[in-house]
Structure 1
Amino acid sequence: MTTALTDPLAILVDLLRCPSVTPAEGGALAVLEAHLSRLGFAVSRPVFREEGTPDVENLFAVVGTEGAHLAFAGHTDVVPPGDLGDWRHDPFAGTVEGGEVFGRGAADMKGGIACFLAAFARHVERCGAPRGRVSFLIAGDEEGPAINGTVKLLDWVAARGTRFDACLVGEPTNPEAIGDMIKIGRRGSLSGEVVVEGVQGHVAYPHLADNPLRALTAIAMALMEVPLDAGSERFPPSNLEITSIDTGNTSVNVVPARARLFFNVRFSDAWTPRTLMDELQRRIAQGAGDPRLRPGRAPASVRVTWRERPADAFLTRDEALTRSLAGAVEAVTGRRPELSTSGGTSDARFIKDHCPVVEFGLVGKTMHMANERVAVADLELLTKIYEAFIARWFAAHA
């Protein structure tokens, strides 16, 4: 493979040509292994499995044997491209047009991986190897259930006695332009399902039925009416959204037997998943016993199920890590980035249990969209920032 390892565009095109739709490896990890091996990294590609889930291949690569240890984390799996007719170019061709490179995963997040690899290669070319260790933690199911990827990869690395001093996740964090935003934490996430049991019947004889939607309406109000908190210095107020209400009923003259409600909460550091569950259970019980829509009836029969894996809210307080990255951004772009905890969740929620972690990457405006793309100029800018960050971080740990 003759790709110039200091050229982020060439590396990205190599990665984009691999159809690594989650959970398929698609050749992307093989490409990455070849590039990293040329830079002296020792590369492992462990496969993790769990019953009921697809096997997932991941990558861990490390160079250096002692000293401060900096990890870069990301994922090569991508979401499906969708309708190919919506794309201007083949989503797995890595086409460059009009100063942009098109492809599924260009922004999320093969572009970030390409930039960090090129940044490391440039650092070695100009300054020699860092006085410490550098690792790549690359998962293969971040866009999927996230069961056989980063969580197990971190445990696998830890079981071999490897520890990290800090980690940079290369997810696309910038809303409009490179230098807008560094993520220094994330809100927590909690999802739940509420099932209310009723009594099916004819709408003309309501006394013989018990409409579960009456109780579910009260439960919805109890969940949403009173704010969960007012936020904090680093976190916006927690927010609960009801995402679905369903009875499976297709008839207009039948009272349904049961009704389901799904919700998700993005929460601040005022809560842990456990304390938030307790508060939401209290609100659900309050709504189930509300007599206004069900006068004279006992509290509704309700079942609550917590779905997916809850994510804790977290905030990174490692000043050396934050200063090194923010200083690199400002030195290269002249812009002072916002330090934010906004947005969705990422694999940083797992990494923070192993070391301090921050996130910074490309502009994310087209991620998961048809014609996903990044500006070639942004690839160069991000590579320069990453190179400056590597130098600053290791200087701070000399």
Structure 2
Amino acid sequence: MTDPLPLAQALIRCRSVTPADDGALAVLEAALAPLGFACQRVDFGTTPNLYARRGTGGPHLMFAGHTDVVPPGQGHWTTDPFGAEVRGGVLYGRGATDMKGGVAAFVAAIAAVLERRPALPGSLSLLITGDEEGPALDGTVKVLGWLKDRGEIPDCCLVGEPTSKVELGDTIKVGRRGSLNAAITVHGTQGHAAYPQRADNPVHRLVRVLHALTAEPLDQGTRFFEPTSLQVTSVDVGNPATNVIPGSATARLNIRFNELHTEASLTARIKAVLAAEAPRHDLSIECSGESFLTSPGPFVDALVRAVRAECGREPSLDTGGGTSDARFVAKHCPVAELGAVGATMHKADECTPVDELRALSRLYARVIEEVLG
């Protein structure tokens, strides 16, 4: 049980492409129960989730992760994506890094710590969802609400996403940028291109809107965050005619924002520009998560000490990349992400060296000892 490889292989062999589970959570539950974990399936709708806890006292360290994976895709795999083959000391398979390998490493770490310290103080738990790679509507966020109602919110949480860039432990993610999508439709008056005075060209108005939104940077970045990025992702008119001024024009934006902004402040900015340049418009906003930051403190310091001791390097504290389920946990307790090297995640021939998988398990064991004392 202290070797993460067999469990990682068993999990990879479950074809748990979102939203399918294919037995992955049952495999995990079978590994946790002998370690003294009380396991509960907490499914919402069609989303499979597992919550497992050992101990009742504090401090309470939670490991959060997922067993669902993205599809293998059309890329050229040199091995079965769900075969979990070890070749040349490397484990291949969908989820090897993102993040069935991380889930297996945490279970093996717990087994190793309990072997040395059967009376480990505090509590350990796992919140594992089957819907991180999908809509994420009925996964981690719903289970956290369920835990809050039960009074079981942890003191701190480690998310096992593959955060390392080049070498194991070189990066700890202590926050993530927020992500906001906006769809803007500017309405005008359709007309003949030869008689522009009889029309109101919405494309011209939309261009002015986009220029106003992109002409100046939103900020210069902060200590832990890079500058906010506003990107125009599409401009659509749907006009096949060359001599017709269209009646409407649509653009879509994606904004990755730091802690200087919120969904409300960015929405207000967009609305102000639209009011000035395009009074007739439709606007829809979808924010998948606000930015968050776990400032250096006891939990982050414990992770840094663990990396120093186990990996012999000083980790950088980073907030880059996309979103993760850590955005949901951040509303309840300090959270950080620390995991494998993510160079092959979501790619064909996703893989992780077996030695690195075992090193990750040792690192997680060190984290447990640092946090639970």
3-state secondary structure, aligned to 1:106: coil
1:1-398 map, 5 Å: 5-49=1-45, 55-83=46-74, 86-286=76-276, 288=277, 299-307=278-286, 309-317=287-295, 319-395=297-373
SS of structure 2 residue aligned to 1:108: coil
Q: Deviations over 1:343-367 (max 9, x none)?
A: 1111111101111101000111111
Comparing 310-319 and 20-29, the one that deviates more: 310-319
Distance 1:277 1:310, change over 3 A: farther
Match of 1:52 in 2: none
3-state DSSP of counterpart to 1:306: strand
Give, in whole Å, the separation in 1 of the partners of 2:240 and 2:123: 61
133-142 or 243-252, which deviates more: 243-252
Deviation at 1:189, TM superposition (A): 1.5
Measure, in 1, the Cα distance between the counterparts of 2:236 and 2:154: 46
Does structure 2 conserve the Cα–Cα contact (< 8 Å) formed by 1:215 and 1:300?
no
Q: CA deviation digits over 1:68-104, x for unaligned, max 9?
A: 1000000111111112x62111111111112211111
Normalised by the size of structure 2, how large is the TM-score? Answer: 0.96
CA distance in 2, matches of 1:79, 1:249: 36
Structure 1 alignment gaps of length 5 or more: 50-54, 289-298
Number of aligned positions between the proteins: 373
Corresponding residue SS for 1:193: strand
C-alpha distance after superposition, 1:114-134 (max 9, x if no partner): 111111111111222420110
The answer to whether the Cα contact below 8 Å between 2:144 and 2:153 also exists between their aligned partners in 1 is no
Distance 2:353 2:241 in 1: 52
Question: Structure 1 stretches (4+) deviating beyond 6 angstroms?
Answer: none
Q: CA deviation at 1:317?
A: 2.6
Task: Provide the secondary structure at the position in 1 that maps to 2:53.
Answer: strand
Cα distance in 2 for residues equivalent to 1:168 and 1:283: 40
Letter in 2 for 1:370: A
User: 2-side partners of 1:246 and 1:264: how far apart?
Assistant: 15
SS at match of 1:387: helix
CA contact (8 A) 1:222 1:284 kept: no
TM, length-normalised to structure 1: 0.90
Match of 2:70, as an amino acid? V
Structure 1 window deviating more from structure 2 (384-393 vs 226-235): it is 226-235
Aligned alpha-carbon RMSD (Å): 1.5
Deviations 1:31-69 (A, max 9, x none): 1111111211110111102xxxxx111000001122210
Q: 1:123·1:129 contact (CA, 8 Å) conserved in 2?
A: no
Shift of 1:331: 0.9
Which deviates the most, 198-207 or 263-272?
198-207
2-side partners of 1:324 and 1:100: how far apart?
A: 30
Partner Cα distance (1:178, 1:206) in 2: 62
Bigger shift: 134-143 or 229-238? 229-238
Structure 2 counterpart of 1:317, one-letter code: S
Identical pairs, percent: 49
Displacement after TM superposition at 1:318 (Å): 5.5
> What is the rounded CA distance, in whole Å, between the counterparts of 1:284 and 1:374 in structure 2?
48
Equivalent residue letter for 1:10: P
- Structure 1 position 300, deviation (Å): 4.9
Change (3 A) 1:251 1:100: farther
Alignment deviations for residues 230-249 of structure 1 (CA, whole Å, 9 cap, x no partner): 11122111111111111223
Q: Residue 280 of structure 1: CA displacement?
A: 2.4
